C-alpha cells in the first residue's frame, strides 16, 4: 500500500487535495458548439441537484479547472456535464476532445444557489435558462423532490438556434421513462423552448416573452405571482441582469442557502 502510493507520487503529477481523478464514461456532441460528458462519481461526492463543481484537466502538469453545473440528478451514479466549446477557451478547447476512458479532475466541494432549499415554499416553480444554463435544470427536473415541493414546474430554455435546444429537449422527452420521476414529471412539467435567431414554435428572448406577456398567454396563466411562484434563473451575465430586473419588478426577492427567498440565479458557466 505504502509502495503503491509512493509509485503514484513518483510517476504522475501530484494532484491537488481539492480534486479527485475521474474517468470519462461517455461523450455526446450535440452541435459543433455543444457537448455533454458523463464521468464517474466518487462515493464521497455528495451534492444537491442544481449545484456546480470544478471540472477540468491536467494541462502541462498543472490543474486547469472551471465551474460546471452537474446536469445529472443527485441520485444518479454518474455525473453529467453540459459544455460549450470555446475555440480559444483554455479548458473547453481541450475538454471537447476527450474520449471514453480519459481522466478528468473533479473538485471535491460542490456548491451553488440554484437549489430547492434556497427558495421558500411555493406552488409553481419557473426554471428560466438560456444556452448552457439548461444544465442545472436538467438535474432539477429529474429530482423527485422538485415535484414533491411544487404542483407545477415550468422549464423555459432559450437558445440562438433550434439545434442548440436539442440536449434540453431530449432530457424532457426522456422524463416519462425516468425511473424516479417518470410517473409524476410528465404531468407536472411544462417545457417552453424558444429560439432567437431562427424560426421556431416560440421565438424571442425570455425577457421579451415575459415583458410582452407572451410567455404567460402561451402557458394560459395570468402572469407571475410572487406569493405562490418561485423562480430560478441561469444564463449569461446579461441575461441574468435583465431577467432579474423583470422578476424583481414583479415582487420577487432574492434567496440564498442561508436566507431562502422567492427567486435565485446563477451564471451559466463556460470557459
C-alpha cell at 232: 430560478
Is 19 or 233 the residue whose CB approaches ligand A2P more closely?
233
Tell me the Ramachandran region of residue 57: left when phi exceeds 0, alpha when psi lies from -120 to 50, beta otherwise. beta
Task: Identify which of 88, 104, 134 has the alpha carbon closest to the alpha carbon of residue 15.
Answer: 104
Choose, by CB under 6 A, the member of 196, 211, 216, 226 that binds ligand A2P: 196
**Does 131 engage in binding with ligand A2P (CB under 6 A)?**
yes
**Does 134 engage in binding with ligand A2P (CB under 6 A)?**
no
Is 74 or 158 the residue whose CB approaches ligand A2P more closely?
158
Give min distance, CB of 181 to ligand A2P, in A.
Answer: 27
Is 159 or 171 the residue whose CB approaches ligand A2P more closely?
159
Q: Which stretch binds ligand A2P (CB under 6 A): 8-16, 20-28, 236-244, 256-264?
A: 236-244
Choose, by CB under 6 A, the member of 29, 123, 197, 259 that binds ligand A2P: 197
**Does 158 engage in binding with ligand A2P (CB under 6 A)?**
yes
Q: Is 201 exposed, middle or buried (0-12, 13-18, 19+ CB in 10 A)?
A: exposed
Can you list the positions of beta strands (E) in the chain?
19-29, 34-40, 52-59, 62-69, 78-84, 103-107, 124-130, 152-159, 189-195, 229-235, 263-267
Q: Where are the alpha helices (DSSP H) in the chain?
A: 2-11, 92-95, 135-140, 144-149, 166-173, 185-188, 206-211, 214-219, 237-249
**Does 33 engage in binding with ligand A2P (CB under 6 A)?**
no
Task: Identify which of 146, 175, 141 has the alpha carbon closest to the alpha carbon of residue 157.
Answer: 141
Is 10 or 237 the residue whose CB approaches ligand A2P more closely?
237
**Does 238 engage in binding with ligand A2P (CB under 6 A)?**
yes
**Does 239 engage in binding with ligand A2P (CB under 6 A)?**
yes
Q: What residues between 53 and 112 interact with ligand A2P by CB under 6 A? A: none
Choose, by CB under 6 A, the member of 242, 246, 252, 269 that binds ligand A2P: 242
Residues 6+ apart with CB under 8 A from 17: none
Is 86 or 175 the residue whose CB approaches ligand A2P more closely?
86
Residues at the contact surface with ligand A2P, assessed by CB under 6 A: 130-131, 158-160, 196-197, 205-207, 235-236, 238-239, 242
Amino acid at each position: 500500500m505504502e509502495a503503491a502510493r509512493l509509485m503514484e507520487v513518483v510517476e504522475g503529477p501530484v494532484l491537488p487535495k481539492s480534486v479527485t481523478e475521474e474517468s470519462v464514461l461517455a461523450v455526446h456532441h450535440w452541435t459543433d458548439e455543444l457537448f455533454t460528458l458523463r464521468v464517474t462519481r466518487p462515493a464521497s461526492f455528495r451534492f444537491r441537484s442544481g449545484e456546480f463543481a470544478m471540472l477540468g484537466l491536467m494541462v502541462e502538469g498543472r490543474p486547469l479547472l472551471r465551474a460546471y453545473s452537474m446536469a445529472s440528478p443527485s441520485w444518479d451514479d454518474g455525473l453529467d456535464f453540459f459544455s460549450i466549446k470555446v475555440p480559444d477557451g483554455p479548458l473547453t478547447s481541450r475538454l471537447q476532445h476527450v474520449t471514453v476512458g480519459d481522466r478528468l479532475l473533479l473538485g471535491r466541494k460542490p456548491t451553488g444557489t440554484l437549489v430547492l432549499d434556497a427558495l421558500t415554499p411555493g406552488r409553481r416553480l419557473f426554471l428560466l435558462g438560456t444556452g448552457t444554463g439548461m444544465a442545472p435544470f436538467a438535474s432539477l427536473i429529474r429530482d423527485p423532490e422538485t415535484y414533491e415541493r411544487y404542483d407545477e414546474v415550468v422549464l423555459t430554455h432559450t437558445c440562438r438556434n433550434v439545434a442548440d435546444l436539442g440536449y434540453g429537449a431530449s432530457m424532457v422527452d426522456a422524463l416519462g421513462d425516468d425511473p424516479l420521476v417518470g410517473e409524476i414529471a410528465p404531468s407536472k412539467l411544462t417545457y417552453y423552448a424558444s429560439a432567437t435567431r431562427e424560426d421556431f414554435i416560440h421565438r424571442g428572448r425570455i425577457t421579451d416573452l415575459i415583458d410582452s406577456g407572451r410567455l404567460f398567454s402561451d402557458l394560459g396563466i395570468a402572469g407571475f405571482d410572487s406569493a405562490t411562484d418561485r423562480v430560478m434563473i441561469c444564463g449569461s451575465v446579461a441575461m441574468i441582469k435583465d431577467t432579474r430586473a423583470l422578476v424583481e419588478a414583479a415582487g420577487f426577492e432574492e434567496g440564498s442557502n442561508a436566507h431562502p427567498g422567492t427567486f435565485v440565479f446563477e451564471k451559466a458557466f463556460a470557459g
